[in-house]
Every structure is written in C-alpha cells, then in structure tokens.
Chains A and B, each alone.
Chain A
Amino acid sequence: MLCQECRRNEATIHIVKNINGRQIELNLCEGCARKKEELDFTFEPQFSLHKLFASMLNQGLFDGSEVKSVSNLQCPGCGLTFTQFSQVGRLGCSDCFKAFEDKLKPLLRRIHAGTVHNGKVPSRIAKRVNAIREIDRLKELLQQKIQDEEFEEAALIRDRIRSIEAAIKENSRLAEAGQDDSEQGENQ
C-alpha cells in the first residue's frame, strides 16, 4: 500500500486515532508519519541521541575480533549485557558503570570534557571527596614547586598532603568501626 500522504513511498506505519468516537485510520510512510507526529503531537524524539550513541559504541571502539568477548560482558547488578546496552544506549543500574568501565571510558572521553566528575557532591560524602580533590590539587602544585626548585615550600605542601591523607584514613577507620558497632548491635 502506498503512503496516503505523499503517495510515493510504501506505507509502513498504520495509525488508528479515536477522536470524539470517530475512528480515523492512516497508512503512512516513515517520513510522513514523523512529520505528522511532529505537528500533531510534539514528542521529543529522544531516540536519535541514543541511536547515535549506540552507533558510536559499535563503530570505532572495538574491531570484529573483540565483539565476541564484549558480548559476554554482563552487569552483575542488573543482568544487562553490553550488547543490550550498545543497542539501547541506556544503562540498567549503578553497577553497570564499573561492569562496562573499560568500554565506556573511551566513549565518555569522546563526549565529555574528561572522565572524572568535577562538580557537585552529595553532602553526606562531600568532606571526603573535597579532601581527595584538595590532595590532587596540592600534588600538582607540589610538582610545580619541585620543578621551580622551591624546596622549602614543596616540603610544606608535602606535609599538608600527608596530614589530609591521614585524616581521610582516620575518618574511614572511624566510619568502619561505627558500622561494625551498629552491626553488632543488630545481632544482639
């Protein structure tokens, strides 16, 4: 059957509408259906992004020999396989990021400004993350000072890094101890 709209292409989409009890049937080709949908019901065709994204995954990132091993990858958290992900372009759970990390990283590098989050942090872990960010910053500064042969300042920065690292360790020890206590409490 030919498309009712353009009368040129094969109609591949069948639409039935019920308006005020009046049934309207339409047989359209994909192009006309899309045009019609845009005018009738302006839903954002989000899939284009996912498709593009999925095609990026399938194209440049691994050659044919790798496809086999990749298709066996599966997230232990939700059971999503990498093959499924590369088809729909969406992840299933928080664990997927670690499960597919090796494959995702090159892609993230391509579409983003880096592979490390540099923005807001939930307040419950803000202290720890900010401390780690501060260490990274100080380490860069330390290298600079060593290069510039400003050793006294470099030593001060090194001590600062050590003290922050010690504080992080102490905090996580305390947090773990706290967890043990509560677990013991539950057991009793």
Chain B
Amino acid sequence: MKKIDFSISHWMECSGPENDIVISSRVRIARNLAGQVFSCLASSEQTEAVLKKICSVTEKENELADFNFYAMKELTAIEKQALVEKHLVSPLLARDSRNGALLLSSDEAVSLMINEEDHLRLQVILPGFQLEEAWEKADYYDSLLEKKIDFAFDEQYGYLTACPTNIGTGLRGSVMLHLPALIMTGQLNRLLGALSQVGLAVRGLYGEGSEIIGNLVQISNQVTLGQGEGEIIGNLGGMIGQVIEQEQNARQALLDKKRAQMADRAWRALGLLRYAQVMSSKEAMQLISDLRIGHDLGLVKSVDHRLLNLLLVLIRPGCLQMLAGRELDNDERNLERPAQIKKILES
C-alpha cells in the first residue's frame, strides 16, 4: 500500500478560476451494483463481494493504472481523519464502512469510494470554480466503469441509490466558497434564503449540519431526479456565479468604506498567526479568513495565496497530527498548530 502524502493535494495547491472566492469545486456520483443489496443492509460477505467485483474491474483498467488503493481498515484513525479533512473521502466511509476502500488518483483529484452508503461513490475535486470540468471528469470515469460493471438503473427512476435524496442522476455538485464580505455585511442570510428557494443547499465546511467556520460555505444541489446532469450543473454554476458577483460587490464596498479597518484586521491576523503560541482550529480558521480577504483586497501583499489554501486544511486536527508525526490530544494540538502555521508561513 502506497503511503499517502498528507501534506498537499492538487486542489489545495493549484490555483483555479475565481480562486479568490472559490476554494474548490467538487462533483460526486452515487452508483450501486445491479442485483446486490445496498450497503446498509449488506452482510460482511456481501460488502466483500462488492469490493472484489469493483476491484476486479479497476485493477485491469489501464486508465486507472495510476490510482492507489487503500483499504479503510488498514488506515489509522489519524490517516482517515486527514483524508476527510482534505475532502478526499466522505466522513461516512472513514467512520463506519465495512470493507470500505478508496481508490485515489495520483493527483488526488479523483476518489472512488467503495462500500460507502452506496456501493460506489465517484468524486472529482478541482481547485477554484471548475464545476463543469469536474462533472466532465466524473462522467468520463463513470462511463469507463459502466462498460464493465452493471449499475442498478431503472428506466423511470434512473440510477438507484440507498437514499431517495440521491436517486436519478446520483449527482451532487458542491462548491466551497470563501464569503467573508457577505458575512461581515450581514447579507448572507438573505442570500441563503434565496438559494434554498431554487433547490440549493448551503452548509458549513464539513457538510450537513456543520456550522460556518472561517467564513467558508458549501453550496450544492438538492435535486437529483427530473433534471439532466447538464441542467443540474448549469443551474448550480449559474447561481454560484451570482454569489461570486455579490461577494465581489460587498468586498468592493468594504474596500471603499472600511479600507483601514480591513487592513488592520488582516495585519492583526497575520501577527497572531505568526506569533501566537496556543491556538484552536476555530480561531485559526477565522484568522486565516481575515488574512485571506486582506490579501485578496490587495491590503497585505507579503503572503502567498497558495499557502492560505494549504493552511486551511493543514491546521485541522488530523492533518496536524500527520504533520507532527504522532498522536496529539486537544491541548497538544493547540500548541502544535501555531508552530506548524509559522513554519508554513515562512516556507
């Protein structure tokens, strides 16, 4: 088993379109094997059969030659947590899947999750605003697998999934945005209301129910049945475009009216990130956000944008413990975090 490089991922390091506001674009499709009981009711033998069936296809597929295989049960808790923090596997797969496994492309853009809530979850994550590109890539790999695997499909309901909220296309597009100006100017709630009316869901950094930390918001489609994939991705992309525009307007207004305060906030954040000795991940996320918008507005020029993306993930508990090379409890992590941040900022 190849060791996972826990420091960087393609989507964290590369820059993408609109990446001052859009952190990443993600698409996942849910598929199940025809004639097999879904994961939640399956016995260990049945989940093993699913794993074997999928692997028998992926092992022979030339296009997947550069993918690395990881059995979930062979990873440590910290490794699994770091994979979740990097958005390369779902929390469910890391937490309690039987015979769960991950096939990860060498650039970490494509994840095939086996024995998740559905037998197969195919995910593509790209930096910046590249929703269409992410869908095209996911579609490509789905079509590749479909030649060799019979997926559960019904002519009326489309691709059948364990949860009826995913039925049809099985497609969930999700874009992570940094929206500090909309949040600071109190416009976010109004926007969220509007988005939910057009069938989009808005969540915090780590999915449903998670609170908004570091001004990071995920917007994704709810509807998976009745619309084609192009329409779903097009609608989501269109709305994201409008959110980006609103955030840009709000940023401009802040720059016009509160320039000094914004600069002060960003420089203070940089000071704390450089010199603080004890720091929780929540505080770090907020400071990184303050610094990031200062950088985006041109008020702080001495920081590399790429590093800010890196920081967002690397200060999370799992990645932090990977960086430190040992297990750390909460207090130890709060000590380790500023040390690692300092290192990254100086790199």
> Which A residues have a C-beta under 8 Å from some C-beta of B?
17, 19-20, 22, 24, 38-46, 48-50, 53, 77-78, 80, 88-94, 97, 104, 107-108, 111-125, 128-129, 132
Is A38 touching B210 in the complex (CB atoms < 8 A)?
yes
Is B163 touching A89 in the complex (CB atoms < 8 A)?
yes
**B67 part of interface (Cβ distance < 8 Å):** no
**B176 part of interface (Cβ distance < 8 Å):** no
Chain B contact surface mostly: loop
Is A91 touching B38 in the complex (CB atoms < 8 A)?
yes
What's the interface size class on B, roughly? 35 or more
User: In whole Å, how far is B65's beta carbon from the nearest beta carbon of chain A?
Assistant: 23
Query: Which B-chain residue is minimally distant from A124 (CB atoms)?
Result: B150
Cross-interface CB contact of A50 among B143, B163, B318, cutoff 8 Å: B163
Residues of A with C-beta under 8 A to B143: 123
With A53-B164, A92-B38, A123-B147 given, is the CB distance from A116 to B210 under 8 Å? no
User: In whole Å, how far is A134's beta carbon from the nearest beta carbon of chain B?
Assistant: 14
Residues of B with C-beta under 8 A to A20: 326-327
Of all A-B residue pairs in the complex, the 5 with the closest CB atoms, nearest first, are A114-B226, A117-B158, A113-B226, A44-B207, A44-B91
Chain A contact surface mostly: loop
Is A42 touching B316 in the complex (CB atoms < 8 A)?
yes
> Which B residues have a C-beta under 8 Å from some C-beta of A?
32, 34-38, 40-41, 81, 84-85, 90-92, 94-95, 117, 139, 142-143, 146-147, 150-165, 167-169, 171, 199, 205-211, 222-229, 231-232, 280-282, 316-318, 326-330
**Other 4 A-B pairs with CB < 8 A, given A41-B318, A91-B38:** A39-B317, A43-B206, A113-B225, A117-B168
Residues of B with C-beta under 8 A to A107: 164
User: In whole Å, how far is A33's beta carbon from the nearest beta carbon of chain B?
Assistant: 14
> Number of residue pairs across A and B with beta carbons under 8 Å?
181
User: In whole Å, how far is B206's beta carbon from the nearest beta carbon of chain A?
Assistant: 4
Query: Which A-chain residue is minimally distant from B95 (CB atoms)?
Result: A43
With A78-B41, A93-B37 given, is the CB distance from A44 to B146 under 8 Å? no
Q: List 5 A-B contacts (CB under 8 A).
A: A42-B84, A42-B316, A117-B157, A117-B168, A120-B159
Residues of B with C-beta under 8 A to A121: 153, 158
Residues of B with C-beta under 8 A to A39: 280-282, 317, 330
Residues of A with C-beta under 8 A to B229: 119-120
Residues of A with C-beta under 8 A to B151: 122
Cross-interface CB contact of A112 among B35, B223, B328, B329, cutoff 8 Å: B223
